[in-house]
Amino acid sequence: MLEPSFVLISTKFYMEISNHFIRRIDYRNNSQKLDGINDLIFVPDSVMGNKIIIIAKDSILWKKKLFYNSYTNEKTKLEITIGKPKLNGKVDAIIRSLNKIEHIDSENIVILEIED
């Protein structure tokens, strides 16, 4: 297996993977890590089907768009817009981030298809 990596797994296999690797999965900080370094990400089976995708962390180069923040006079990775308060005390807030893939090293991406 490629290490360290992101492992995208169909939710269809959640119970089986969780039970099989119970002693090797660390559940901390709202994430699941296999062997302490491989991030397990469960994706709805309507998207993944019978696939498991292993992506080496260094195989994708991401570029984040920088937004100008008028409050801090700096560029930030998030654009936050807060609307005017409404009569019931609620406020609309919009948080936006934009990521672009600059480079993919396809040799470090493995796609496994599980047969039923």
Q: What is the pLDDT of residue 64?
A: 87
Q: What is the pLDDT of residues 22-57, one digit of tens each?
A: 999 998 888 899 998 899 999 998 998 999 999 988
Average model confidence (pLDDT) across the chain: 87
19 burial level (CB within 10 Å; 0-12, 13-18, 19+): exposed
pLDDT of residue 63 exceeding 90, the answer is no
- pTM higher than 0.75: no
pLDDT of residue 2 exceeding 80, the answer is no
pLDDT band at 3 (very low <50, low <70, confident <90, very high): low
Contact 16, 9 (CB under 8 A): no
Tell me the C-alpha distance between 96 and 67, whole Å: 9
